[in-house]
A and B are shown apart, each in its own frame.
Chain A
Amino acid sequence: MTLIMQLYVFILAGFVGFLVIGKVPPLLHTPLMSATNAISGISLVGAIVAAGGQYGKISTILGFIAVIAAATNVVAGFLITDRMLGMFKQPAKGAGHGADTKGGAK
């Protein structure tokens, strides 16, 4: 892929980001940040190729560490986002109080 095509993708995606994220209400700014953080854990894709490509010992070890770091980022990021969003309850009145706010906790 040429650099210019990549720039197209980057800039258009940036615009989409501005338009979509600009509409997120302040209420959800914290989950927004953990969500974008989880999504950018997509570096995992690059880490996987680095770790599995048999590029020599040092590269494999660096790739391995990168996979660990990125996987932690992805797993923790999506789980915490889900946990937080599970806490935001609709303003429906008389719903009782919320002890059951933990989505997937054991």
Chain B
Amino acid sequence: MPLFLQEGIASVNPIRDAIIQASYLAASVMFVLGLKSLTRPDSARRGMQQAALGMLLAVIGTLLNQNILTYQWIIGGLVIGALAGYPMAMKVPMTSMPQFIAFSHAFGAIAATLVGVVEYRELTREGLLTNGLAGALGFEVLFGALTVTGSFMAFGKLQELITGRPITFKGQNAVNIMLMAVAFGCFGYLVYNPMAAWAFYSVVGLALFLGISMVLPIGGGDMPVVISLLNSYAGLAAAATGFAIGNNVLIIAGALEGAGGFILSVMMSKAMNRSFANVIFGAFGAAPSSGAKAAGEVKEPKTISSEDAATQLAYAGSVVIIPGYGMAVAQAQHVCRELHELIEGQGGAVKYAIHPVAGRMPGHLNVIMAEAGIDYGALLTDVDDANRVLGSADIAIVIGGNDIVNPDAEGDTSSPLYGMPIFRPWTAKVTYVIKRGKGTGFSGVENPLFALDTTRMIYGDAKGVLGNLVKEVKALNEGH
């Protein structure tokens, strides 16, 4: 009877097994080297291409497995998957990268969960399910199913199929914690009595439900943490699959992703100065009322015309641009590069201050700016470095960002943003803020930066405003 890859089963062909194991070892090494190459932007691409080659090796190795008796379903599935994946990867705009990653997490997790179900069925049928294996399978479907629905929810929120605002109801956290407790109870019983199919499928069902109910109350602005966390869960599901089928390359790849997702979610939480628990259970954006205190004393912000702004930009020695997600939404990155080049043509220096949580996933704005053809030497990704440069800049331009430049994060202990590391555009000689309209940002918190004496607002769509600035600077050039 064919069995899964569990070791300890007499092998028919030791040489073939050695080849398979060698392919897995090679793949594991190439994965680690691929990730290591990501520490430097100039080596990254080649390294990841090698990692892809490692994946190919692992797949070829697996096809040699003696337990595989028919190939038509495998080939069919591989072809369909490749045909579906190729156009998705080639067409997705950089702005939609977070949705895309969420979607991709869901697919990986679907695979892990289904493999878990198949294994459970086969192992119980053959009476080979040990307590340890039941535990591994339980983890696999728990993290897998949670990631499937959680990722689809995140996808829906990011794609704005469902509202980005947190969806909450009274006692939500209590319900979630109770569900989690029941899921763990079923999991525990499954380990105790591996033949209890109801416990196994209850874990699957509860995890599917938990994925939905845990992501629903989290606001769009917190998506960088959620995506990172789902990244980690997807990795843990893959690692648990490795435990269940006794395959090291799955354990290694899963552990790598689990670690990566965990590191990123900690970094993102830190960049927002919030704990995990606060992101998951806090439903941050639900209470904008707390930020609306003393609205009466807020001064009316000053504005500036594109003409005047352009004149100043044309003669500026150094300009720092602080892009936020609003810039990406407005697709203003290309016209921003035009302005950048014009200023440089006049002898000015242009840098970008990219906040770790700007955008909807870790590092999102870096990719957006890179897409526009801005080389990575101009991107300041460290908040302290960026603030040093801002301190000696002539002009800071905030485009479509809000919370990442809110001085209350440093000065007002009652602000929900208090403690978050932020950029200090007000230390530049003058700050322009390009903003769609008056009103608060994503978190619903007032921003006193707008009312400062050195701040000038330019209201309008980021793409339109930047387009005007480009036109005006060009006109100035021709005037000379």
A residues neighboring B (CB under 8 Å): 1, 3, 6, 9-11, 13-14, 16-18, 20-56, 58-60, 62-92, 95, 97-98, 101-102, 104-106
Given contact pairs A9-B251, A30-B367, A62-B118, enumerate 14 new A-B contacts (beta carbons under 8 Å): A1-B8, A16-B256, A32-B362, A35-B51, A39-B256, A41-B111, A62-B114, A67-B78, A71-B77, A73-B104, A77-B89, A85-B44, A87-B371, A90-B376
Query: A10–B255 contact, CB under 8 A?
Result: yes
**B58 to chain A: which residues have CB within 8 Å?**
42, 45
Q: How far is the CB of B9 from chain A (nearest CB, A)?
A: 11
Q: Which of B259-267, B306-314, B420-428 lies at the interface? A: B259-267
Contact among A43, A53, A68, A104 with B90 in the assembled complex (CB-CB below 8 Å): A104
Query: A37–B41 contact, CB under 8 A?
Result: no
Q: Which residue of A lies closest to B334 (CB)?
A: A97
CB contact under 8 A between A30 and B235, given known A20-B39, A39-B253, A74-B81: no
Taken residue by residue from 209 to 247, chain B's Cβ proximity to chain A (1 for < 8 Å, 0 otherwise) reads as 000000000000000000110010011011101110111
CA distance A99 to B263 in the complex (A): 34
**B198 to chain A: which residues have CB within 8 Å?**
none
Contact among B110, B246, B251, B364 with A65 in the assembled complex (CB-CB below 8 Å): B110
Query: A30–B32 contact, CB under 8 A?
Result: no
A sample of 26 inter-chain contacts (CB < 8 A) reads A1-B7, A9-B251, A14-B259, A17-B259, A24-B35, A25-B39, A25-B381, A26-B366, A33-B362, A36-B257, A37-B234, A39-B35, A42-B253, A43-B115, A49-B62, A51-B77, A52-B73, A53-B122, A55-B122, A68-B81, A69-B107, A69-B111, A71-B85, A72-B88, A87-B367, A97-B373
Q: Which residue of B lies closest to A64 (CB)?
A: B73
Q: How far is the CB of A7 from chain B (nearest CB, A)?
A: 8
CA distance A21 to B5 in the complex (A): 30
**A87 to chain B: which residues have CB within 8 Å?**
94, 367, 370-371
CB contact under 8 A between A28 and B250, given known A20-B32, A85-B48, A86-B45: no
Q: How far is the CB of B250 from chain A (nearest CB, A)?
A: 5
Q: Which of B10-18, B63-71, B155-163, B444-452 lies at the interface? A: B63-71
B258 CB within 8 Å of chain A: yes
B249 CB within 8 Å of chain A: yes
Total residues of chain B contacting the partner, CB 8 A: 118
Query: A14–B255 contact, CB under 8 A?
Result: yes
CA distance A44 to B27 in the complex (A): 13
**B241 to chain A: which residues have CB within 8 Å?**
43, 46
Contact among A18, A71, A85 with B259 in the assembled complex (CB-CB below 8 Å): A18
Max count, chain A CB within 10 A of own CB: residue among B35, B59, B82: B35
**A95 to chain B: which residues have CB within 8 Å?**
375
Max count, chain A CB within 10 A of own CB: residue among B4, B45, B97, B382: B45
Query: A66–B370 contact, CB under 8 A?
Result: no
